[in-house]
Every structure is written in structure tokens, then in C-alpha cells.
Amino acid sequence: MKRRNLIKAIGAVSVATALSACKPKEQNCEANTTRQKTYNWKMVTAWPKNFPALGTGANFLAKTITKMSGGRIKITVYGGGELVPPLEVFDAVSNGTAQMGHAGSYYWKGKVPEAQFFGAVPFGMNAQEMNAWLYHGGGLDLWTELYEQFNLVPFPVGQTGVQMGGWFNKEINTKEDIKGLVMRIPGLGGEVFKRAGGSPKLLPGSELFTSLQTGNIDATEWVGPYNDLAFGLYQAAKYYYYPGWHEPTACLEGMVNKEAYDALPDDLQQIIKIACMAANQNMLSDFTAKNRNALDTLINEHKVELRQYPKEVLEEFKFHAKAVFDELGEKSEMGKRIYKSYKSFASQTKSWLDISENAYFKAR
């Protein structure tokens, strides 16, 4: 009986040891299976395919994610109108038609008014300040919370830097010259322009040249010399105004369908986050490097007349911008929270920039 009990005990230990040895292997097998799984995603954009900086920025993001993931996420990029119209990117990603989108949050003004805080605020924060607020001031957390109800996860994927003020078919000498003017200008800038007496229109980039050339609009803003030269806007308008009071930077958004994002393993989610950060910096560098030469080409080869907005016009825009900004902060409880965060951060960084960046530029 003792011998039989001893044999049983040895058998039980052997089984337990075997099971213990198998368990990690099973976990490893499961982990390896997850790591070997590939995801084929679609990215829809609001830009013409391969358009400089904006379209190529979307391509950069897709390629970076694919390379960093070792091909585990493969992304096919569709330009505006290829899979969905440019201004329907938000809905397409929200409902799962595509897993990713590349656009500007101010395009969704009618659907999510608060999203405009994360795109461009007239006379608001520049690219450096926006990045600081988003990454280290709670801005991205608020943006994520705002988009959760739409089944979306947002990321900053590109900054334009300070834009140009726009293309006009007539000179702007006083604030009276704004009255009755039809201009393509989106978001909060469009609302400011409207209150100054103008008539704003929201048009995708692909329609700008024809609309300006045929007189459907009297003026248009887009981004800056690098992009505007590529669109050939100098052939449709003579006067090129600065500064871009309406967009001290445009923070472009990369939105991801939340269900698709949550289905990814942790390492792939992290890859998307880091790739978006890389794309954000890469686009700002691209614009900074290319705008100067493009402006030289516009002035010297195409005889574009560069004009600075008169002070009284800028003051008129600034007056209305404050009211528009304050009113947006009262639209909803979420809007109040975003407004408070944005305004507080902008005030704090201004005091620092006055004795750092601004003081340096004056000294230089």
C-alpha cells in the first residue's frame, strides 16, 4: 500500500510539473499568433492624392506605421474623392468605412463645434504652443474625450505653422473692402470673416482654383506658398495677403476608428501614437523648409503682388475673433472645459514666449 501511494504521489507531481511547463508555452503561442496577425486598413483623406505636404503627409504617416509595425499594419491611402468625398472623412471613419482619416477638425464645425479648438483659432496659439498644449497641457486628453462619442480616437498629425492671409482679386485697403466679399475660409476664421461683413464658403481644396477663376468666390485662403504654388492659385488671383490671422497654425488630425484601434494589441497602438507624433513634426518641418523658396517663385517668376493686411483690417478681425472664441466656449459643458484649458495654457505660454522666442526674434 505504501508503494502504491508513493507511485501515485510521484505521478501527481509529474502531471503538475508537466502542466506548469505547458502553460507558458501556450501563452507564448497565443502571443506569437497575435503578433503575427496582420491588419489591412484604409485611410481616407480630405486632400488631393499625393498633394505636397498634406497628401504626402498622409502617405508619410501610413508608410511609417507600416514600417514600424514590420508590416503587421498595412495602410492604403485614398485621396479626397477616391473612396469618400473630402468633407465626409469624419463620418467614414466613425462608421467604419475606413479605419483611419487624415483631415482638419474645423471641417466638422456643424457636427462637432468644439472640435474647432483643436484645428485653428484666429489669433490663437501657434504650432509650438499647440503641440505643447496637446501633448503636455491636457489638450489631447480633452480631444480624445470629445471624439469618444463618435467612435473615434484623434491624434495630431501635422502642423502648418503660420499660414498666409489669402488670395484676393482686389486690394484690401480698409475694413470696408471686406464687406460683401465671398471668400473660401473654414472654421472659426470663417465666422470672424462673416461678422466683419464678408461671406465665407467652405470648399475642399480641389475646388479652389476653378471657383476663384470663374468668380464663384472673390478670394480664398489655403495654407501657404508651398501648397498655394502647387494649386496654381497665382493664375486666378493677383494679390497675396499676410499674415494668416485666421490660422496661426492648422493642426491636422489623424482620426482612428475606436473599435479598430481597441482591437489592436498594445504594441501596435503605441506604434500608431508614435508614428502620429513623427508625422506631426515632419509636416511642420516640411512647410518651414519649402515655404520660402515657393514664395520667391510666386513673387519673382509669377509676379504675384505681396500685400500686408492693413492694421485697421487686422484690428477688425481681432475684435470679432475674441467674441467668436468666447461664444464657442459657451456652447456646451465640454466646450467650457476645452475653452478654459486652451485659454489658460495660451496665457501662460505667452508670458514665457515674450521673454524667449519673441525677444530673440527682435534681437536677431
The string of pLDDT tens digits covering residues 67-111 is 999 999 999 999 999 999 999 999 999 999 999 999 999 999 999
**Residue 238 in domain:** yes
Report the pLDDT value the prediction gives residue 34, as an integer from 0 to 100. Answer: 56
User: Do 198 and 271 reside in the same domain of the chain?
Assistant: no
Average pLDDT over residues 3-21: 47
Average pLDDT score over the chain: 92
Instruction: List the 199-201 sheet strands across, edge first.
Output: 199-201, 182-184, 219-220, 166-168, 239-242, 305-308
274 lies in some domain: yes
- Same-domain status, 283 and 302: no
Say yes or no: 137 and 255 in one domain.
yes
Distances (CA, A) of 275 to 66, 139, 237, 255, 325: 10, 19, 38, 13, 31
Percent of the chain with pLDDT over 90: 90
Q: Give the mean model confidence (pLDDT) for residues 235-260.
A: 98
Tell me what pLDDT residue 12 has: 47
pLDDT of residue 322 exceeding 90, the answer is yes
The vertex-123 CA angle with 340 and 221, nearest 5°, equals 125
Task: State how far the Cα of 296 lies from the Cα of 280, in Å rounded to an integer.
Answer: 26
Please state, in angstroms and rounded to a whole number, the distance separating the CA atoms of residues 337 and 132: 18
Same domain, 51 and 177: no
Residue 100 shares a structural domain with residue 134: yes
Q: pTM, whole model, 2 decimals?
A: 0.88
- C-alpha torsion angle, residues 302, 308, 309, 314 (rounded to 10): 140
Residues 174 and 103 in one domain: no
Average pLDDT on 38-45 reads 98
Is 1 contained in some domain? no
Same domain flag for 224 and 146: no
Query: Which CATH number does the domain housing residue 187 bear?
Result: 3.40.190.10
pLDDT of 21 strictly over 60: no
Please report the pLDDT score of residue 16 as a whole number.
Answer: 44
Query: What pLDDT is attached to residue 36?
Result: 79
Q: Which domain holds residue 225?
A: 166-248+293-328
Average pLDDT over residues 150-170: 97
Q: Assess if residue 336 is contained within a domain.
A: no
Average pLDDT over residues 317-330: 97
- Average pLDDT of the residues in 52-77: 97
Residue 314 and residue 215 in one domain: yes
Answer yes or no: is 356 within a domain: no
Does 176 have pLDDT greater than 90?
yes
Flag whether 13 is in a domain.
no
Establish whether the linkage from the previous residue to 265 is cis, with ω within 30° of 0: no
What is the pLDDT, as a whole number, of residue 146?
Answer: 98
Residues 256 and 244 in one domain: no
Binned at pLDDT 50, 70 and 90, residue 161 comes out as very high
**In this predicted structure, what is the pLDDT of residue 333?**
97
CB atoms within 10 A of CB 277: 16
* Same-domain pairing of 243 and 257: no
Q: Characterize the bridge pairing of strands 239-242 and 166-168.
A: antiparallel
Give the count of domains, the chain.
2
Q: Residue 264 maps to which CATH number? A: 3.40.190.170
For residues 201 and 18, the model is more confident at: 201
Is residue 2 scored above 90 in pLDDT?
no
Residues 111, 55 share a domain: yes
Give the CA-trace dihedral at 264, 268, 272, 274, to 10 degrees. 150
Kindly state the average pLDDT of the residues 50-55: 95
Q: With DSSP H G I counted as helix, E B as strand and the rest as coil, what are the percentages for the chain, rounded to 5? A: 60, 15, 30
Q: What whole-number distance in Å separates Cα of residue 342 and Cα of residue 337?
A: 9
Say whether both 181 and 321 belong to one domain: yes
